[in-house]
Amino acid sequence: MTETRASAISDAVGGDRRQMRRRAGLALVALLLVALVAVLGIVWFADNERDRLTSEWQVRLGLVADSRKAAVEDWLNERRGEVLRLAANRTVQFYLVDLSDPELPREETDSSRQYIEGLMTSEAERGGYLPPRGQVATTGRDVSAQGGLILLDVSNNIVAQTPGAPDPSSLLPDSLRPGQVSVSPPFASGDGRAMIALFSSIGTPEGSAEGGIGLLVAIRPLGDDFFRRLEQPGDTTGGAETFLTDIDDDQIRYLSPLGDGTAPLTRQIPASMVEQAVVALQGTPAGSGSLVGYAGDEVLAVSRQIIGTDWTLIRQVPADLALSDGIRRIWMISGALLLALLLAGVTIVAVWRHAVSDRLAEAASNLSVALKESDRLGRLLRNVADAVPNGITAVDREEKVLFGNRAAFDRIGIPAREAEGMPLINLLGPGGSAPLHSANEKVREGHRSVRYVDDRGTGADRSVTQRIHVPLDDGGVLIVAEDMTEIVVEREARAAQLDALVNVLVDLIDARDRYAAHHSQRVARLSRRMAEAMDLPASQVVAAETAARLMNLGKLRIDPAILTKTEGLTPDELAAIRDSILHSADLVEGIPFDGPVVETLRQMQEHLDGSGRPNGIGGDDLLIPAQVVSLANAYVALISERAHRAARTPEQALEQLWPEAEKTWRRKVMAALVQASEVAAQAETGGDD
């Protein structure tokens, strides 16, 4: 009996042990499956985090690239303006006309040449095309390192040039229209300095658009004043750099200094080598990607095409420097998760294997350590995010806050940790959250980033914020907000100063001619009404109004006796008045208007059929604002009293102008005048003028 009981106990214990081993085996298999799924999830998380970091860096690089592209294009536009101004100099034009006259004595053209070469030398020194006078002699500088200005006749013979100017024969373009400036690819001077050449065809003094009577060549060194345009003010991104490239005969040429000390134009590598990834960015307005840089390392880069050239601006940063902190954080988080998973597994195995309280306590202690480490890493990540001045908020598909840094919630007085898990509408209210909801829905629908600008309040309470919404996984959205108030207010202040300057110039005009007093203001108001009736873009509406206000500025060069003359005007006097609009364009050419104000003034006397002046352009080449201001000026002039005639009625003025539709002005511009003149007549009846 004792043996039977012992055997039964032994069988029972053995059965319990077999059952425990079976359960332990099943638990171990389940644990291994969970561990495998968790590892795969961590790998997926790490890949997505790297992609997100790369996307954020490409946005940052793109902002800098856009800024540097604008700086380089501004520098080139300044040079184009210098060349166009000299090419339009009437003394230069008459000199080329005189050279084509075989009967004109050479001594007369020689004196003109000396004057023009002096003028060109002064312009070249002021524009940086060659050093100030006397510097070459005193410093012993090689003249091959300087640029210069060269004037060619129609046969490309040099007829005037600045001292020491290089030979331009190998640089000349195939063809060029008057008023157009061509920029050559950068080339190396005799001492290896980078240089460019600009070419402008010279038209006749009468402004003929048929061919040209000569060519102006401007050769300029690319010095620090140009290459500094590639440096982003206040940029502290370590290892990042911006440079210019182009492709010549399947060779990548580096046009600007490189971060490793390479001088401009000294590095040229076949496009088939490691830089082939960079070539993928060439020839496109904008591109980005993870590429192989000129040093053979992996870089994050974006490109921007420089308008009017074959140059490509590239902004890059070494991938290891850009992503190192983020990847380190990913590994730390992944390590903490793996550690937590490992500790959890150890705990489970220990419970099933030993069922001993001290082992369970030890496992719990280890798990506590892992949780503390995970909490420490979480605090580290939050501290890094809180140090960023821009507001950063991540929301899920239900618009609940997943994460937010201090800058995102300080302005509403809620700690970022307390905001997590709360819906945006509860934090910001219906009015504040509605724009964010709308933007997030567009991000989810298009699966791409969107950018918005919120402009609220006035005066000291004004706030301008730029928001970038970036898609995350599972319908989440990352919102990065940047305060742009100071930048926008400064830009608007500059615009107000420019408007004040225009008002001063208009007052000067009114003081000269009592019959034309307030004429430009009336034309400006009518031009704005016409442009708005045509639904033109805001920049063209403002350009038309501003050009109308300034169109009579050139009358400052006309004798007041002509402006107030009561009898008929002579042909010369009429020509002087017509040319005053072109003088107006010359006087304001250097003012940085936002729209095509100067171009509008120059085209006001052009006709749709090409019969106008000074260049005879027409059709689609004629600016709509120029047509608007031209027609508004003609209408206001007809309904206004002048020294030599009485004013016409609006009906008489429209009847006189209407036959010119599709000859001088577009029909839709005439229709806009009819609509706007009714509004203008009502405004005048109400005392608006």
Q: How confident is the model at residue 352 (pLDDT cuts 50, 70, 90)?
A: low
Report residue 4's pLDDT band, with 50, 70 and 90 as the boundaries.
very low
Cα dihedral: 613, 618, 621, 625 (round 10) = 70
- Which of 491-500, 572-581, 622-631 has the weakest average pLDDT? 491-500
Q: Measure the CA–CA gap between 27 and 35, rounded to whole angstroms.
A: 12
For the segment 224-244, the average pLDDT, to the nearest whole number, is 88
Q: What is the pLDDT of residue 42?
A: 77
Q: Are residues 304 and 67 in contact, defined by beta-carbon separation less than 8 angstroms?
A: no
- Which pLDDT belongs to residue 428? 79
Each residue of 438-467: pLDDT tens digit?
888 888 888 888 887 877 777 767 778 888
Q: Which of 177-181, 343-347, 385-389, 622-626 has the highest mean pLDDT?
A: 622-626
Domain boundaries, the chain: 89-178+187-221, 388-483, 488-685
* Residue type, position 26, single letter: L
Indicate the fold that domain 488-685 takes in CATH.
Answer: Hypothetical protein af1432 (1.10.3210)
Identical fold, 388-483 and 488-685: no
Contact 238, 321 (CB under 8 A): yes
Rounded to whole angstroms, how far apart are CA atoms 435 and 13?
69
pLDDT digits (tens, 9 = 90+) for 253-268: 899 999 888 999 888 8
Question: What homologous superfamily does CATH list for 388-483?
Answer: PAS domain (3.30.450.20)
Query: What is the pLDDT averaged over residues 420-429?
Result: 82
Least confident of 198-207, 455-464, 521-530: 455-464
Cα–Cα distances (Å) from 313 to 254, 430, 582, 681, in that order, read: 10, 43, 37, 53
- Higher pLDDT, residue 672 or 462: 672
Q: What is the pLDDT of residue 424?
A: 82
Report, as an integer, the average pLDDT of 328-337: 75
User: Tokens 């076949």, residue?
Assistant: 270
Mean pLDDT of the chain: 80
Neighbours of 149 (CB within 10 A): 28
- For residues 100 and 153, the answer to whether their CB atoms sit within 8 Å is yes
- Name which residue leads in pLDDT, 581 or 387: 581
In terms of average pLDDT, the best of 6-10, 11-15, 198-202, 207-211 is: 198-202
pTM beyond 0.75: no
Residue 540 has pLDDT above 90, yes or no: yes
Q: How confident is the model at residue 642 (pLDDT cuts 50, 70, 90)?
A: low
Q: pLDDT at position 689, please? A: 42
What pLDDT shows up at residue 277? 42
* Rounded CA separation 7/297 (Å): 74
Rounded mean pLDDT of 636-657? 84
Q: Is the pLDDT of residue 24 over 80?
A: no
- Provide the token pair at 646: 């009485």
Between these two residues, 363 and 392, which has the higher pLDDT value? 392
Rounded CA-CA distance 579/666 in Å is: 23
